[in-house]
């Protein structure tokens, strides 16, 4: 049986190579290198008629060696930077005396970061290539990458274990260019959202992450402590109540793109730290906000994907306007056969039990309705769809419906079976808001740990007067999952939370 080189053996070889470089006076970690182009720029700029014979396209690049084809007096290697891949041709006689044989062939490895300067040409096999005039080591890689073995070409061994990829995202990004592309697309998506809102004059703001009271959603918080003030604090679960304070303070339209934190379980669709866009616009209502969401999401999908019709997990989705608008209780009737609008808690509990759901004493009317909806309606909402007109008990911060008792003016946007956004005609009646908070307090007393607290300062802001307002929250991570065709939220978060590895 052939001897196999272990990981520790390979690391030892690289450590010894570093020592040899230092002994030769070659610094393994120099300070800088002048880069004047990217690999993508080279591919888009090179023109055979202008540059092949004249050798006039001269560039200085930097990146990582990802494959090598070592020969006698000349060799090739693949250089990767953030924009792509380029073949590099290295010839002994073009480099300082001894560098090719003593440094390049013996002491450089796949994974090393190098700087290279030279002219661009096309090889006889038709590949655009950089002919190196200068080559410098910029960072010695002391750990071998889980990539190509130098046997029979440049075939990669995939860095395929998902959990390892999440834990070592830096390696994942190096070895899987498609992963880098996901996060480039996510960045463009956020920029497109920001551009859309800025163009309409809405002000981007920042609100506290550490809060003395948490609110704006029904969720369990993370708790911390401030030693100097000697008080408990909470990581925010939503931005809502502070942003609406700003509307009360006189701003007509504000938004925030930031991190929220909820002390909940992990799943393909949930990470305890996640990114939200929240927007509040004075003098508008939820009907106006539905139209804005259709326009904004359509514009963002077009900006990121080049079309409003995209394929996600083998399913064609269309973000063209208008989206269907379906009242919540109509959707429940459609998918369960139960007419539950106006039903008391006992009737709701009986229906949920008959449908196979578990109901306990801590669950109020709104929670039971939400569980029925989540189990029997949500998975069927594949195309972009608005679900409207929720029960008051499920929406303690939304304005009561102008026509139908027991409901509020709220919608949620769904796509591919999951919620994308949540929006209200915001409740601005301080007495009604106090009543809702008090009901939430009673639910907490019955054991609902996710029920809201009474926020007296927020009530005071409403008492000074907040104009009619439309509010919106969009889950950035879930939108990114759609636009990058990813099945797990961990695939669109650079460093998702994971259980610590056992020693």
pLDDT at 160 over 90: no
d(CA 310, CA 307): 7
Over the stretch 177-209, which tens digit does the pLDDT of each residue have?
Answer: 899 999 999 999 999 999 999 999 999 999 999
Choice between 362 and 346, residue whose per-residue pLDDT is larger: 346
Share of the chain above pLDDT 70, in %: 96
Over the stretch 244-292, which tens digit does the pLDDT of each residue have?
Answer: 999 999 999 999 999 999 998 888 889 999 999 999 999 999 999 999 9
pLDDT given for residue 147 in this prediction: 56
pLDDT given for residue 445 in this prediction: 84
Length of the chain in residues, anyone? 503
This prediction's pTM: 0.90
Every domain of the chain with CATH number 2.40.50.140 lies at: 7-157
Structural domain 179-324+383-491, CATH architecture: 2-Layer Sandwich (3.30)
d(CA 154, CA 148): 6
pLDDT at 150 over 60: no
pLDDT at 438 over 50: yes
Structural domain 7-157, CATH architecture: Beta Barrel (2.40)
The answer to whether 182 and 227 have CB atoms below 8 angstroms apart is: no
Average pLDDT over residues 228-243: 96
Helix, strand, coil content of the chain in percent (nearest 5): 35, 25, 40
Q: 259 in helix, strand or coil?
A: strand
User: Per residue, what are the HEC states of 100-158?
Assistant: HHHHHHHHCCCCCEEEEEEEEEECCCCCEEEEEEEEEEEECCCCCCCCCCCCCCCCCCC
Average pLDDT over residues 9-31: 96
Share of the chain above pLDDT 90, in %: 84
pLDDT given for residue 151 in this prediction: 46
Every domain of the chain with CATH number 3.30.930.10 lies at: 179-324+383-491
Q: How confident is the model at residue 161 (pLDDT cuts 50, 70, 90)?
A: confident
pLDDT at 2 over 70: no
Average pLDDT over residues 36-59: 96
Q: Which two tokens stand for residue 443?
A: 């639910």
87, 85, 78: which is closest to 148 by C-alpha? 78
């Amino acid at each position: 049986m052939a001897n196999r080189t272990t990981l520790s053996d390979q690391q030892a070889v690289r450590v010894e190579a570093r020592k040899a470089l230092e002994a030769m006076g070659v610094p393994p970690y120099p300070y800088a290198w002048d880069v004047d182009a990217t690999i993508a720029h080279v591919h888009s700029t090179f023109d055979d008629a202008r540059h092949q014979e004249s050798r006039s396209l001269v560039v200085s690049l930097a990146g990582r060696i990802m494959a090598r084809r070592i020969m006698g007096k000349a060799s090739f290697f693949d250089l990767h930077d953030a924009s792509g891949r380029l073949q590099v041709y290295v010839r002994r006689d073009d480099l300082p005396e001894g560098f090719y044989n003593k440094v390049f062939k013996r002491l450089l490895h796949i994974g090393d970061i190098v700087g290279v300067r030279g002219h661009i040409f096309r090889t006889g096999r038709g590949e655009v290539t950089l002919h190196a005039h200068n080559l410098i080591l910029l960072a010695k890689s002391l750990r071998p990458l889980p990539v190509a073995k130098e046997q029979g070409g440049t075939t990669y061994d995939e860095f395929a274990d998902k959990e390892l990829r999440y834990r070592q995202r830096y390696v994942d990004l190096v070895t899987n260019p498609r992963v880098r592309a996901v996060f480039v697309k996510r960045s463009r998506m956020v920029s497109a959202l920001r551009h859309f809102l800025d163009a309409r004059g809405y002000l981007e703001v920042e609100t506290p992450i550490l809060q003395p009271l948490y609110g704006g959603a029904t969720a369990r918080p993370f708790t911390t402590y401030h030693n100097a003030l000697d008080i408990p604090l909470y990581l925010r679960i939503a931005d809502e109540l502070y942003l609406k304070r700003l509307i009360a303070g006189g701003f007509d339209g504000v938004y925030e793109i930031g991190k929220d934190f909820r002390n909940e379980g992990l799943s393909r669709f949930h990470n305890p730290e996640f990114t939200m866009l929240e927007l509040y616009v004075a003098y508008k209502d939820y009907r106006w906000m539905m139209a804005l969401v259709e326009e904004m999401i359509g514009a963002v999908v077009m900006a990121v994907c080049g079309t409003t019709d995209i394929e996600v997990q083998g399913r064609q989705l269309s973000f063209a306007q208008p989206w269907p608008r379906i009242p919540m209780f109509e959707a429940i009737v459609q998918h369960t056969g139960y007419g539950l609008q106006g039903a008391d808690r006992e009737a709701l509990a009986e229906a949920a039990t008959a449908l196979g759901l578990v109901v306990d004493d801590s669950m109020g009317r709104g929670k039971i309705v939400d569980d029925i909806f989540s189990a029997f309606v949500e998975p069927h909402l594949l195309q972009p769809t608005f679900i409207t007109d929720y029960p008051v008990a499920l929406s303690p911060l939304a304005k009561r419906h102008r026509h139908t008792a027991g409901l509020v003016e709220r919608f949620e946007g769904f796509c591919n079976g999951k919620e994308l956004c949540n929006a209200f005609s915001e409740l601005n009646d301080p007495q009604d808001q106090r009543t809702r908070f008090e009901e939430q307090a009673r639910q907490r007393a019955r054991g609902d740990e996710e029920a809201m607290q009474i926020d007296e300062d927020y009530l005071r802001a409403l008492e000074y007067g907040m104009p009619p307002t439309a509010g919106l929250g969009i889950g950035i991570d879930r939108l990114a999952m759609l636009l990058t065709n990813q099945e797990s939220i961990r695939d669109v978060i650079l460093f998702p939370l994971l259980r610590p590895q056992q020693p």
